[in-house]
Chains A and B, each alone.
Chain A
Amino acid sequence: MHRGKGMKFVGDSRVKANNRMVNMPKDYSEYPGKTEAFWPDFLLKEWMVGAVFLIGYLLLTVAHPSPLEGPADPTNASYIPLPDWYFLFLYQLLKYAYASGPYNVVGAIVMPGLAIGALMLIPFLDKGPERRPSKRPLPTAFMLLALAAMIFLTWESVVNHDWEAAAKQGEIKEQVDIEIDETAEGYLIFTGEQGKSCIACHGADMQGGAAAPALVGNELTAEEVADVIHNGRGAMPAGQFAGTEEELQVLAEFIASLKAEE
């Protein structure tokens, strides 16, 4: 600190009372060559970039509301998980034979650990004075290789993912509250011997499950229901019903009657 005779202070503080710095920006002539003052010259340019960026950003938030799937249900065993997109390459890596199963440690720990470690230690691995990428081929090549690998793995994982199924499994399901008449003839067929394979997937409460949709609140007519039972639909195989044609008719009418109230 500057000390000595002739120093004056503000009261009993350590703040100098004389020779205070004048609050005047440095003159532009003091900036050599094409250098620029940070404030306000350069910052204005940065903020212009920032403003354009913000517009795009806000448009994105308006155009694509952030996704929200149904509430977490730990009992749903069939959900196929997917991490956020920037972890996709790791996720894909873990699908390969020598990075999964008994080699899981390789894919999950060793490879990412080596990558992060190498990234962290680059200044000590690449110590030469050259800065141009073309003059230090090894670091450049490694980085380009890593980049290519990440892009490839992300791409592979996107292509191999069933996006339709993913959207479906996460849907916010509306709970349909319909009183099921458990003494109805149709319900007895549904839960009885003839319909044994029905409850396996659609559940005794007819609310569906991991493998099948809910039956309550369906939008089908009795004929359509009978057709689905005969011929199957989507994941449902054909010819599951073990009862007679009359029983099927009763069952179809019963299921078709389970409509959401308008």
Chain B
Amino acid sequence: MSNNRVSRRQFLNYTLTGVGGFMAAGMLMPMVRFAIDPALQTKADGDFVQTSQKVADLTEEPVKVDFSYEQVDAWYTSEVTDTAWVYKSGDAVVALSPVCKHLGCTVNWNSDTEHPNQFFCACHGGRYEKTGKNVPGTPPLGPLDEYEVSEQDGFVMLGKKIANTRG
């Protein structure tokens, strides 16, 4: 017998494996693609939410901007309401999250008469500078989060919450 002759039994084994592999692949391929779909979906770039705040009206003084957007989670859409403190810093527009980094209370601009021009959290006296940087010695452990900002038709658009880039 020469070495490279395939015996009948080997041939049948190979064919069996091949057909078996085809059946397994045929069954599993659609299912696996189905399961990993979320990882392959490309996110639409419409992640920015339009607010009612005109860029032209912004000053160096932070103003409270309420905005809400529809969060689409597959078949479940919900209305999410959020708030941001928005001001102009030079030419750039800055939007800070009002959630205190201490216990999640809401901070206000300039509401403490003893410490003007700071964000102040009434719950435990946490203070932040205008950039969102926490004032050392007050309860918060980090700077206020920031929103990604863009502009459309003269209105402020807010994007994802990101870690503060200014403090």
Contact = CB atoms under 8 A, between A and B. Distances in A.
Interface of A: 75-78, 196-197, 200-201, 209-212, 235-237, 240
Given A200-B121, A237-B124, 17 more contacts: A76-B104, A77-B99, A78-B103, A78-B104, A196-B108, A196-B111, A197-B108, A200-B106, A200-B108, A201-B122, A209-B105, A210-B103, A211-B105, A211-B123, A212-B123, A235-B103, A235-B123
Interface of B: 80, 99-100, 103-108, 111, 121-125
A237 B103 CA distance: 14
Question: How would you classify the secondary structure of chain A's contact residues: helix, strand, loop or mixed?
Answer: loop
Contacts, number: 45
Contacts of A200: 105-108, 111, 121-123
A236 B123 contact: yes
B125 A211 contact: no
B61 to A, nearest CB: 16
7 contacts: A200-B105, A200-B106, A201-B106, A209-B105, A209-B106, A211-B104, A236-B123
Contacts of B107: 200
A201 B108 CA distance: 11
A197 B111 contact: yes
A210 B122 contact: no
A76 B121 CA distance: 17
B106 A237 contact: no
A98 B99 CA distance: 28
Contacts of A196: 108, 111
A209 B106 CA distance: 10
B69 to A, nearest CB: 13
**Nearest 6 CB-CB pairings of A with B:** A78-B104, A197-B122, A211-B105, A210-B104, A200-B106, A77-B104
